[in-house]
Every structure is written in C-alpha cells, then in structure tokens.
Structure 1
C-alpha cells in the first residue's frame, strides 16, 4: 500500500516527510532517525548560516545513508520606515525589562544579505550532494531551479492555495506540499495574505490534486496513521508531519516547548504575527496576548523576527514559556513523548489496520 510516486521519486519506504522546522528543532539525530525509519528527514535551514548547514549535513551523513533533504526560505524584499521600526522596538521594551535584557536598538535587516545567504545555502546543498531541497515563502528564480535540477536535486514547493500549487508546478517543482491552515509554525503563503486564506487540509488537498499533475504532499494536523490514510484518500501521495516529530526524543525543541505542546488542549493554538511578522500557528501565551491587546502595528518579516530574537532567546534560557514562540499544529492533543522509531511503528501499524478493514 505504500509504494507510490512519492516513495519512488524520493527513494523512501513510506510517504512520510518530517516537516523542516527551523530554529533548532531538526537536529541531525531527528533527521537521520526519520530517514532510517523509512521516511524523509528534513533539515530546517531557514535561520542557519551556510557553515552551520554544512556541519549539520556532515553529521547527518555519519548517522544515515538514506535520503534526506534541506528546506530554505525564499528571501523577500521588505520596507520599513525608521519611525515604524523605532515604534515596534519601543513596544517590546516591557518584555525586555521583564527578562532583564540590555539591548541596543538592532540594525535594520538588509534584504541584500538575505539574498546572498540564500545563494550560499544553495551552494552548500549542491556541494554536499543533498538529494532533496524544499522551499517556503515563495518559488525560487528560474535560474536557481535550472541549476539545482542540473545537479539532480529533487525540488519541493509549498502552497496554501490551489493557485500557489499551480504556480509551483508551472515553475518546475517536482512535488508540492499543500499546507492546510491547521499546520503549526509559519504559513508558507506567498501570493496572498497568509491570515486571510485559511483553507483546511481536507478542503485544500482534493482541490489541488484536481488541478496539478505533480505529486502532492498533505500537511497540517496530521499526527498518526488515521491522518495518513485520510490524506491518501483525499488524493495526496504522502504527508508532511511537524508537531508529531517535534515532541519526539530526538527533536531539538526546548524542553519547556515540548512540555507546553504535550500539556496543551486542542483549542490552545492561534494564528499570530506577534513574534515574526509572518502569520504562524502556535500556542497562545502571554507575549501573544499582550501584543494583541497593544494594537501597535507589527512590522513585516524579517523585521519583527529580528526585534524579538533576544526576547525569545532570553525566555528560553530562563525556561519561561510566556515569551517563547511555541509553534504547533491544531492536532497537538495527539502529540506524544516517544522516539521516532516508536512513532513510525504506531503510524504504520494503525494505517495498515485501517487499510485492511476497507
């Protein structure tokens, strides 16, 4: 039941992809464990420097000889006035005071630096002969796609609408991930407002599969064998799972972060721009509540992300979940503290039992 276009193209046993969660969650141990279990482990390289990515890839190679992939963020252009930047910085002062942070006003992010780093990350991916590269927040330029394909890299795009899925296929992506609004972390929206276009995975996947011919991966709220079978029935060729792997023992998520996910209820997540300036789903905490109440304009990513960096780091170092970004999908009530091997065993067993009952 497991053999399909995705398992064949990616050379994996099960059409299960570990979501590329940036920010330290996707340790070499997590990525390699997923690949060794028969899925596709993915490095979340969105915030990494090129040297960090190269080191992590080389660690992964020591732990597995199976396929794995790397995800990168498409850099965007942004503008923010000095007035709005200072206003956003000053709004965050009470949080810095609470956490005893002494911080000068940070330098405005430079869009050019993001584009340079993006190119350098791609050079690492090619140089280290990574077989799969996925993209979030947009579609790479035609010359980038051609270069990667000439090196034999399989390309995976992200879409939160049918239109974005069609754009990915037209651009030359080999696979597209249909990200439903249930998904934890940042929404991959790039052609519209990520807070407005909120199609759930059950509505999104059947519509995408009717309009594109490339394989489609379902993402958003999928945690177990039931979710896998449901996704396949909707027409997907595989699934991408984040929160389920986030709480695994091999995950690099902070212990307070894991505990918050494991203790949360099904109604505890919200979509917010408070931490980064991009719409993302996570557990509602004190930071999000205070930012919502303030009514102060939040600058777009990556400006707000830069401004909250020290707050998030200080909160994590103090084990203070009130001011940490606790990204999680809507099905967090199904999360468990277990190994990747145990998670795969449970997913496969449940899925095969459901399939046998048809």
Structure 2
C-alpha cells in the first residue's frame, strides 16, 4: 500500500495519521512527539495557555519532535462578556445541589483576564513558527492566514459542515479537518449552533470532498484501520484520531479517564454543555442527563468550565464518576492499544490489511 498522497507531501509526513489536539491540559509533549516521530503528525491543544506558555511549549515540541507537529488554538469568542452576574445566579442555582452533595462550596463567578486571549496566543504562534497552526471554532482573519504563509507556517482548519469547509477553503488553509458528530470532546461548529450540525462522517466526508479542492482529513469515530480505510474510500486524504490516542499512556488524561475509556462506561456517550458551556461529547453521567433541559441557563465558555472545576475535582477524589462526563467518542469500545507506538503500528497494519483484502476481491 502506498501511503503517500497530497496531504503527506504538504505536511511532510510518512503516514496521513494525525493525533487530535486535546485542550484543557489533556495534551502532552510525550504523546505529540511519539506520533510525530512514528511518521504521523502529533498535535498539542494550547487554547488554555498564555502567550509565554505557548513560546515555552513550542520550544519543547521542537526539541522532542523529529518531524511535523501542530499547535492548536480556538478562534476567539467573546460571548462571555455579555454574561451578567444575574445570569450567573441562575447557573449557580442549577448546580448548587451537586456542590452540596459533595460538601464543597459553590464558587463565585470566575474572573477572566485577557492573558489567554486569542490575539495574544496568535502573537506567540507567529513568533515561534510551529510547522502547523491548527484551529477550531472559526476562521481567522485573512491577514492571519497570509502572515502564516509568509512565515512558513501551514494552516489546518476544522469544519463540521460543507458550508464551513468552503469558508476554510476560501481562506486558503492548507488542509481541512471534516469532523463528524461521532467525535469526542467539543463540537467545533462555528457557522450555526452545534446542535444543528450533527452530521455523521459517512455523509459528511464525501460531501466535503466534493465541495472543496483542499485536502480533506476525516475525524470522528475513527479508532482502527478499518476506519482509516473507510475514510480514504470516501475521499479523505488522511485521518485525525482523538479518543484512541487520548487513551494511550502518553496522554495527559487522568488515570480515571483512561480506565473509563477501556470500560463499559464508554459504550454510551452524550452531548452536553454542562461541563464547559459548549456542546461536547463525553460518557453518560447523571449530572449531564439531569441538567440537559437547563442549557439556556448555563454560563458560556470559559466561565462554565472554571465554575465546574472544583466539582469535577471533588467528584474524582470521591470516586463519584456519575457526576462527571469524560470526553469520549462513539468508537471508544474499539480501542485496544494502550501505548502510542502500539496503536500507531496497529493502525498501519490494519489499514494495509483492509486494502490488501479489497485488492484480492477485485
């Protein structure tokens, strides 16, 4: 099987296998480097980091990665600035019983600073020049894409619909990740509410491929070689895999999170805004189900996530896992490997086996 194509040439990688970027502290230098050094592309979710922290991060990635890697940011969103103290009182009322159940105080409204703003983070990206700048939740201004090209930084944007993919192509990104609703973590829609953009990969990928000329990377619900082969048959030039890499020992997910990904709890996932203020797929939980009807009263990102941090920590410490949704895609039950090397090797062998079988049939 010949793995080389337009995407591998653009990214200068041996295999079109990309590790999904995990924000919120779930990424690690170890995992990003492992995937890059195996011939794929490692990624690091940096939306929670400051300007100076991104500079330090890139130095560490440059030291440990012997190939192409990506640093991922969330395109700016200032919706939280309109969220009043009166609004926050409604949010507190919803979650007060859960804080009381864990015998911890209900936090005050988080105070946000501009230190982690998209503009400040972007300044660090342009200064440190990682091989790839990937982003979600929007399209940066045209001037930003041009500035990246001037500095030799490749750009990779993410779409949840055909319309979003076309906008990314119009912005002249180098590759487009088309992510289906099967994916774990946040639904990164930006043209409409994410609840209106729940399209599965088997429908999304060929539609996006037909609509754009930019290389398409399939994401969501891919956890083995069969998924890679299917994505390529649908027209994708590569894949981005999140949950299965999150389960590897090299990721920065907690031990409890990794255990859940290998357990029966991963069989059922839900979409919820209760833990961060943005729609995300995670394991089923009592709290997520009980607060499903209260979405309109939740605080926006990042206020909701900071507000819920102490509850999440207390639930983990007390083994009250029913009060937590662990980020998890729909194909988590397919996960078998616990190391990045073992998983990457299996992906190559399984994909090649599928295509060899298809060749035999033909």
Tell me if TM exceeds 0.5. Answer: yes
- Give the secondary structure class of the aligned counterpart of 1:309: helix
Instruction: Give me the whole-angstrom Cα distance separating, in 2, the residues matched to 1:51 and 1:101.
Output: 33
Q: How does 1:3-14 map to 2 (within 5 A)?
A: 3-14=4-15
Distance 1:77 1:296, change over 3 A: closer
CA contact (8 A) 1:14 1:39 kept: yes
Instruction: Give me the whole-angstrom Cα distance separating, in 1, the residues matched to 2:180 and 2:42.
Output: 20
Per-residue deviation, 1:156:
0.6
- Give the secondary structure class of the aligned counterpart of 2:199: coil
Name the structure 2 match of 1:205.
205
Name the structure 1 match of 2:179.
179
Name the structure 2 match of 1:44.
45
CA contact (8 A) 1:72 1:135 kept: yes
Name the structure 2 match of 1:194.
194
Q: Which runs of 5+ in 2 are unaligned?
A: none
CA contact (8 A) 2:13 2:40 kept: yes
Instruction: Give me the whole-angstrom Cα distance separating, in 1, the residues matched to 2:250 and 2:168.
Output: 32
Q: Which runs of 5+ in 1 are unaligned?
A: none
Q: How many matched pairs?
A: 355
Moved more, 224-233 or 269-278: 269-278
CA contact (8 A) 1:229 1:351 kept: yes
Instruction: Give me the whole-angstrom Cα distance separating, in 1, the residues matched to 2:285 and 2:337.
Output: 22
Distance 1:86 1:266, change over 3 A: closer
1:281 counterpart = 2:284: no
Cα deviation code 1:208-237 (max 9, x no counterpart): 010101000000000011100100000001
- Give the secondary structure class of the aligned counterpart of 1:252: coil
CA contact (8 A) 1:184 1:281 kept: yes
Q: Normalising by structure 2, what TM-score?
A: 0.92
Name the structure 1 match of 2:118.
118
Per-residue deviation, 1:196:
2.0
Instruction: Give me the whole-angstrom Cα distance separating, in 2, the residues matched to 1:52 and 1:310.
Output: 23
- CA-atom RMSD in angstroms: 1.9
Distance 1:327 1:83, change over 3 A: same
Name the structure 2 match of 1:141.
141
Distance 1:203 1:66, change over 3 A: same
Q: How does 1:134-173 map to 2 (within 5 A)?
A: 134-173=134-173
